[in-house]
Amino acid sequence: MKRTIALLLCALLLAASFACANPAEAKDRPVVVCTIFPQYDFIRQIAGDRVELRLLAKPGTEIHGFDPSLKEMTEILNADLLVYVGGETDRWVSDLLEKSDRTLNAVALIDLVDTVDEEHVEGMQGRAEDEPEADEHVWTSPENAIRITEGLCDALCRLLPDETDALRANADAFRKELEALDAEYRAVMQNAKRMTVVFAERFPFRYLCEELGLTYYAALPGCSSNEEVALSTVAFLIGRVREEQLPGVFYIEFSDRKIADTIAKATGCETWLLHSCHNVSREDFEAGVTCLDLMRQNLISIKKAVG
Ligand SMILES: [Zn+2]
């Protein structure tokens, strides 16, 4: 982030002292602030309207360049529970938590699962020599989504000890849906004719591919890179599609689909959307689309890819 956290904290201390002095600020429900959509959605499945839920990264926006305003930072510092992802993209959150003099009740998704590092597979461009970072897109595999549900349920039970039974019941119902989806994924993989997939751009699906046992090729590692995709990278991916006789390539939400369309044109293959669930469009958000809905749509695309 561009602004310096230290300067902001000075302003925040002032803002916070006003907030504390104002009894009208008293709230009846605990405030849960979520940095991005996946945890916002998971929390609403478990807590419903028992908490006042806030989403920092607005629907329809690209979350990787997210630059919080003073108001948003104040919201975080005044939250009863903060749920963030952790890792490099959320470095600003860890800095804020570290430099603030308050003890914040915060949960990072990456602490709820076993993480794997981003990796450089053949043909992927950029940063091969860099120190590998933990991949942040932990929510993309159904197995991880189940663990995250359990971890978030625990955090909510600590926040609302009188509501434990209801919270656990909601989390159980949600977990059962995730387990059913997970079983469907496994059934698709048992009948798979192909185990290789190609992503025509950034790659936030390490956990999903890992769980499904898929071999993948992608243009760019992780998904924070704004790098232009080189012609040689596109040529490599076209080569993979031809050699493996793949029926299609994947692109992610909010993509301009340029690379996917180029590969499709060159090889005659199809293009399929795979939702990373980082964020949803304003329209989907208002329609109440959930991560589970998007993961179900992903299953249809994965089925096409593996045959
Ligand atoms: Zn990402």
Task: Give 166 Cα–ligand 1 centroid separation in angstroms.
Answer: 32
Residue 274: closest CA among 192, 212, 190? 212
Q: What is the mean pLDDT of residues 243-264?
A: 96
H helix or E strand, kind and range, residue 55: strand 52-55
Query: Can you tell me the distance from the alpha carbon of 177 to that of 293, in angstroms, rounded to the nearest whole number?
Result: 11
Per-residue pLDDT averaged across 166-195, rounded? 97
Kindly give the distance from the C-alpha atom of residue 249 to the centroid of ligand 1, in angstroms, as a whole number: 19
- Average pLDDT rounded to a whole number, residues 243-253: 97
The residue type found at 41 is D
Give the pLDDT confidence score for residue 18 in this predicted structure: 47
CA of 9 from ligand 1 middle (Å) equals 27
Query: pLDDT averaged over the chain?
Result: 90
Q: How far is the CA of 10 from the centre of ligand 1 (A)?
A: 30
Q: Hey, where are the domains in the chain?
A: 5-173, 192-306
CATH number of the domain at 5-173, please? 3.40.50.1980
How far does the centroid of ligand 1 lie from the alpha carbon of residue 164, in Å? 32
Ligand 1 centre and the CA of 165: distance in Å?
34
- Ligand 1 centre distance from Cα of residue 232 (Å): 24
β-pair partners for 217:
198
Which H/E stretch holds residue 277?
A: none
Element (H, E) at 53: strand 52-55
pLDDT over 80 at 296, yes or no: yes
- Cα(225) to centroid of ligand 1, in Å? 9
- Beta strands at 31-34 and 196-199: parallel, antiparallel or unpaired: unpaired
* Homologous superfamily of domain range 192-306: Nitrogenase molybdenum iron protein domain (3.40.50.1980)
Residue with tokens 């959605």: 41
Q: 63 is written with which tokens?
A: 């979350």
pLDDT at 42: 98
**Tens-place pLDDT, residues 14-67:** 555 445 444 445 568 999 999 999 999 999 999 999 999 999 999 998 888 788
DSSP letters of 46-69? HHGGGSEEEESS-TTS-STT----
| Among 249, 248, 257, 238, CA closest to 123 | 238
pLDDT bin (cut points 50, 70, 90) of residue 5 is: low
Say yes or no: do domains 5-173 and 192-306 share a fold: yes
- Residues within 5 Å of ion ligand 1, judged at the Cβ atom: 204, 223
pLDDT tens string 76-129: 999 999 999 998 878 888 888 888 887 889 999 999 999 999 888 999 987 666
Give tens-digit pLDDT for 117-165. 988 899 998 766 667 789 999 999 999 999 999 999 999 999 999 999 9
Q: What is the pLDDT of residue 21?
A: 43
pLDDT of the residue at 103: 83
pLDDT score, position 12: 60
User: Which among 242, 196, 250 is positioned nearest to 219, based on CA atoms?
Assistant: 250
Q: What is the Cα–Cα distance from 106 to 123, expressed in whole angstroms? A: 38
The per-residue pLDDT for 100 is: 84
Q: Measured in angstroms, how far is the CA atom of residue 64 from the centroid of ligand 1?
A: 6
More confident residue, 3 or 172: 172
The predicted structure's pLDDT at residue 31: 97
- Once rounded to an integer, what is the mean pLDDT over residues 276-302? 96
User: In the structure encoding, which two tokens stand for residue 256, read together?
Assistant: 């301009």
Q: Return the percent helix, strand and coil in the chain, to nearest 5.
A: 50, 10, 40
What pLDDT, on a 0 to 100 scale, did the predictor assign at position 85? 95
Give me ligand 1 centre to Cα 217, in Å.
17
Distance from the CA of 82 to the center of ligand 1, in angstroms? 19
pLDDT digits (tens, 9 = 90+) for 45-59: 999 999 999 999 999
Amino acid 111 reads D
Which residue stretches of 48-197 are H helix? 70-77, 91-99, 142-159, 164-190
Residues 6+ apart with CB under 8 A from 200: 218, 219, 237, 249, 250, 251, 257, 259, 260, 262, 263, 271
The structure tokens 């907030």 sit at: 19
| Gap from CA of 63 to ligand 1 centroid (Å) | 8
State which amino acid sits at residue 183.
A
**Cα(276) to centroid of ligand 1, in Å?**
8
